[in-house]
């Protein structure tokens, strides 16, 4: 049997599209169009937000797709664990299916369960399910209907576990569509009864699939209101599914990543091979660096191909600089990231043709950014060492990630009192690339006061101002991608519906 990631993805599509009459919808770009509530597209449902809110009519009632997702900011931010665990990535593919305007829970759950059990042949004793256990502050009762459905499918009671809003009330961002959810978790070891370890961050017992019953909208004032209609929205991590079906304990041991690791080994002659170790067993951090680089190479290639521009997206720039730094310090190879982008295209280009189409743009921006980074590093390292000698309070700051720190330091030192005004904070962020986290560390080390709220406001203002420009640039690229004219109006979701011929790619 074909256990390649490619075959696994196809099986998902075939199941929903051919067996259950869903319509295929292309992945949207990772850029949230006309939506400032999220920094990147973070789930399959993002492109359907308008349908959920009732401002958009669904072309088809049932759809399925594989969506490019990025989780590096806002409500869903996994950046801090990248490389440290084997199942969170900055970029990942989310396999999903939807039922618009109709939330028949039994049908939604059955579709998911049967695919896992009958088509993918995952043993039942590897699986656990969770359901919404109620939340007083939301005014919502436990979802007993959901629990009973799982019982009716033969899941033993000790494997059906209630969780609160933190895990089982899904929200896209701080505002927007949301609802209670039910999840399938997989014990990769298949032990008996480890239900008390669910949602505890265990590497071998992870969440796989989330079925959300979209019924509410979270408003600016923090309250939730019922939506005009309710919907089913599901999302499954493709890399996690692949790891389970290929019998691997980490997503990085699947063909989705091992081909990129082979690329690193080939390009960087003499570098030790990837060993697959975590934590203390990865004593020299070599494997962690492999994972960070492979993860970031995927995220960067996809983002650049979708028209995200590091000049206008500090998160992307920071991730690129981290990748350059790892290439330089651990793998001792210039131009590595650029080369790796070809491996990413090799791995994902057949699913997302825009990667191949825009590869020149990807190469050009990577090279341009690498040149800047090299210059900044050379200058700042010397200067910074100098400063640490003068001001020992700086000794413990992690400077390598932020070449603009020297200038930021000087700017702060020149302030008349011990407060960093929001305008200055924004300049440090915008001009010197000091992100919020670093800014906080730096101000603390120097005993300066930083009013985070004001800084955030300044950031939002700046984002609003540059939005027109960003959308213009991105639309050019998306126009190319879709060979369609995107109206500058709010008709935002139209372009994402595929033409028939795209569906064969699966």
- Asked whether 50 and 225 are in contact (CB, 8 A), the reply is no
Contacts of 6 (CB under 8 A, 6+ apart): 350
Q: Determine the residue with CB nearest ligand ATP.
A: 237
User: Judged by CB under 6 A, does residue 86 bind ligand ATP?
Assistant: no
The CA distances from residue 200 to 73, 128, 373, 468, in Å, are 22, 14, 38, 42
User: Judged by CB under 6 A, does residue 307 bind ligand ATP?
Assistant: no
Judged by beta carbon distances under 5 to 8 A according to partner kind, the member of ligand ATP, Mg ion, none in contact with residue 239 is ligand ATP
Residue of 215, 233, 239, 370 interacting with ligand ATP (CB under 6 A): 239
Contacts of 372 (CB under 8 A, 6+ apart): none
Judged by beta carbon distances under 5 to 8 A according to partner kind, the member of ligand ATP, Mg ion, none in contact with residue 240 is ligand ATP
User: Judged by CB under 6 A, does residue 432 bind ligand ATP?
Assistant: no
How near is the Cβ of 290 to Mg ion at its closest, in Å?
22
Comparison of 250 and 475: residue with beta carbon closer to ligand ATP: 250
Comparison of 78 and 369: residue with beta carbon closer to ligand ATP: 78
How near is the Cβ of 325 to Mg ion at its closest, in Å?
25
Residue holding tokens 């720190």?
405
User: Judged by CB under 6 A, does residue 116 bind ligand ATP?
Assistant: no
Strands 176-187 and 205-218: antiparallel
Judged by beta carbon distances under 5 to 8 A according to partner kind, the member of ligand ATP, Mg ion, none in contact with residue 86 is none
Comparison of 206 and 496: residue with beta carbon closer to ligand ATP: 206
Residue of 207, 233, 295, 354 interacting with ligand ATP (CB under 6 A): 207
Task: Annotate 345-367 with b (16+ C-beta within 10 A) or e (fewer).
Answer: bebbbebbbbbeebbeebbebbe
How near is the Cβ of 133 to ligand ATP at its closest, in Å?
15
**Nearest CA among 246, 180, 191 for reference residue 214:** 180
- Chain residues in the site for Mg ion (CB under 5 A): 207, 210
User: Judged by CB under 6 A, does residue 94 bind ligand ATP?
Assistant: yes
- Asked whether 212 and 231 are in contact (CB, 8 A), the reply is no
Tokens (6 digits) for 384: 């910074």
Q: What are phi and psi of 188, to 5 degrees?
A: -70, -15
Which region, judged by CB under 6 A, interacts with ligand ATP, from 85-93, 119-127, 138-146, 470-478?
A: 85-93
Residue of 49, 88, 105, 317 interacting with ligand ATP (CB under 6 A): 88
Query: CA 433, CA 174: separation in Å to the nearest integer?
Result: 25
The CA distances from residue 472 to 115, 300, 312, 376, in Å, are 41, 21, 12, 29
Comparison of 210 and 217: residue with beta carbon closer to Mg ion: 210
- Asked whether 147 and 179 are in contact (CB, 8 A), the reply is no
Which region, judged by CB under 6 A, interacts with ligand ATP, from 133-141, 201-209, 390-398, 478-486?
A: 201-209
Query: Which residues make up the interface to ligand ATP (CB under 6 A)?
Result: 71, 76, 78, 88-89, 92, 94, 170, 206-210, 235-237, 239-240
């Amino acid at each position: 049997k074909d256990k390649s990631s490619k075959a696994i993805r196809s099986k998902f599509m075939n199941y929903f599209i051919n067996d259950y009459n869903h319509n295929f919808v292309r992945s949207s770009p990772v850029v949230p169009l006309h939506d400032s509530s999220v920094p990147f597209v973070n789930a399959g449902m993002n492109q359907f937000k308008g349908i959920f809110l009732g401002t958009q009519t669904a072309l088809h009632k049932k759809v399925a797709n594989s969506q490019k997702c990025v989780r590096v900011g806002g409500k869903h931010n996994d950046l801090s664990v990248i490389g440290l665990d084997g199942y969170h990535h900055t970029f990942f593919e989310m396999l999903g299916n939807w039922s618009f305007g109709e939330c028949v829970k039994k049908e939604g759950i059955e579709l998911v369960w049967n695919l896992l059990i009958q088509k993918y042949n995952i043993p039942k004793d590897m699986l656990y399910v969770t359901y919404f256990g109620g939340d007083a502050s939301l005014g919502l009762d436990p979802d007993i209907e959901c629990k009973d459905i799982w019982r009716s499918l033969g899941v033993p009671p000790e494997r059906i576990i209630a969780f609160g809003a933190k895990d089982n009330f899904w929200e896209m961002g701080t505002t927007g569509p949301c609802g209670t959810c039910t999840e399938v978790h997989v014990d990769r070891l298949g032990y008996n009864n480890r239900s008390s370890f669910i949602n505890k961050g265990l590497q071998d017992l992870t969440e796989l699939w989330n079925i959300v019953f979209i019924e509410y909208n979270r408003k600016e004032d923090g309250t939730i209101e019922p939506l005009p209609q309710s919907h089913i929205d599901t999302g499954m991590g493709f890399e996690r599914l692949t790891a389970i079906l290929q019998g691997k304990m980490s997503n990085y041991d699947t063909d989705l990543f091992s081909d990129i690791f082979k690329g690193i080994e080939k390009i960087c002659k003499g570098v030790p091979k990837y060993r697959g170790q975590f934590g203390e067993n990865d004593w020299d951090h070599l494997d962690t660096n492999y994972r960070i680089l492979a993860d970031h190479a995927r995220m960067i290639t996809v983002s650049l191909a979708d028209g995200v521009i590091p000049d206008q997206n500090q998160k992307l720039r920071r991730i690129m600089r981290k990748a350059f730094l790892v290439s330089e310090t651990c793998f001792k190879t210039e131009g590595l990231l650029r080369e790796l982008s070809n491996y990413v295209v090799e791995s994902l280009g057949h699913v997302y043709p825009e990667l191949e189409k825009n590869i020149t743009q990807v190469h050009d921006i990577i090279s341009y950014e690498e040149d800047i980074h090299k210059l900044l590093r050379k200058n700042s390292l010397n200067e910074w060492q100098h400063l640490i000698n003068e001001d020992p309070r700086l000794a413990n700051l992690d400077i390598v990630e932020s070449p603009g720190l020297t200038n930021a330091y000087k700017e702060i030192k020149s302030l008349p009192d011990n407060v960093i005004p929001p305008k200055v904070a924004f300049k440090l962020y915008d001009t010197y690339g000091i992100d919020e986290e670093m800014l906080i560390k730096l101000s603390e080390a120097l005993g300066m006061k930083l009013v985070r709220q004001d800084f955030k406001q300044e950031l939002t203002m700046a984002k609003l101002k540059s939005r027109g420009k960003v959308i213009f640039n991105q639309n050019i690229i998306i126009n190319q991608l879709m060979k369609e004219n995107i109206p500058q109006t709010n008709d935002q979701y139209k372009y994402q519906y595929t033409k028939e011929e795209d569906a064969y790619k699966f």
